[in-house]
Amino acid sequence: MRSQRFVAYILGLLFAWTGAAHALPIPAPPQFQAKSYVLMDANSGQVLASSNPDLKTEPASLTKLMTVYVVFNALKDGVISLDTPVTVSVKAWRMGGSRMFANVGSQVSVENLLQGVVVQSGNDAAVALAERVGGSEGSFVGLMNEYAKRLGMQNTHYVDASGLTNDPAHHTSARDLALLSQAIINQFPDYYRRFFSEKSFTWDRITQPNRVSLLFSDPSVDGLKTGFTDSAGYCMVVSALRNGMRLIAVVMGTPSEKARAIDDEALLNYGFNFYETHRLYAAGTAVTQVRSWKGADRRVPVGVMHDLYVTIPKGTYKQLSASLHARAGLVAPIAAGAPAGRIEVSYDGKTLLDAPLYTLHAVPEGNIFRRMIDSVHLWFTKKDNG
């Protein structure tokens, strides 16, 4: 317990030392004509501004973000590769709306189809990928809905892979789209950089620009996607990276193409101007140590499995405080990744995050003498505790 108090004391000094800047007053978030919007930090997952974030809305071509996410998972699992050829079916070729213009019966690589979906918003490319990965678009849609559940997208349900449907059962929300975008960026950073920042793509001598207009006007923006139908209005999800801080801005149902760009840019500026994100604990780095009873090692280091971030108003770092609640001891053999307590970070008197602690490596049983001595210690400890 003494070591835990010492670590908490050092953490408190660190927070106070790095929080010397004066806090900026934070104005109310921007107000738009959009049906809903969300501004989220991509690392901490904290929502910094929102309006009707859980309103069920028509996603239009923002549907393709989930289509791409499912394909990325298929690539990760080895179901397909970027070089895998895909035969364009009659159904894919006949898709209306925005298209890649892939010819029926032609074979197009998964990589080129992904470019057709992300850059050109091709409905034909989306259906071709869905049929290749799922066997049919209907089966692929089942995968889309399963991944939506896993990501906690509580207000989302998909009916097709392109977003061209008018089915009222096909819906999502601004918060859910932020969660999905966060998953794409954090789980597939290489694919994100490879596909989403492309400003144009040429297929069959037809060049089409990326519909994310902020890619051309804001150098910090590096993706993600736009959507539009008459009923959905103009929608856009973008992500931007400035000085190591990454934000995701979602606007749904704006009145014009220009409005969605202005609104997303205003959200990004609001977040970057008035908030800052800090990585408090790195994955795999010891936060403290726990007593190892009957083990070959006397103590086992514990920490977090994933980097822990917090997003707070600028200049308020000194208002953070951390408290450790680690186990008093663990009995060997101890596996790596065993639960070992939790760490709580508070801001301005309110809990900001509460994360579990795990052992960072395994501890085998010690020799017979170590086990005997510790057994006696544990017996007296148990007896003293009643």
Residues taking part in catalysis: 61, 64, 121
Burial of 203 (0-12, 13-18, 19+ CB in 10 A): buried
* 3-state secondary structure (DSSP) of residue 235: strand
Contacts made by residues 155-159, CB under 8 angstroms, sequence distance 24+: 155/54, 155/55, 155/56, 156/66, 158/63, 158/66
Question: Rounded to an integer, what distance in angstroms lies between the CA atom of residue 15 and that of residue 34?
Answer: 38
Integer-rounded Cα radius of gyration of the chain: 25
* 3-state secondary structure (DSSP) of residue 219: coil
8-state DSSP, 306: S
Q: What is the number of other CB atoms lying within 10 angstroms of the CB of residue 325?
A: 12
Alpha helices in the chain (DSSP H): 2-18, 63-76, 90-93, 110-118, 123-134, 137-150, 174-187, 189-195, 214-217, 257-274, 368-384
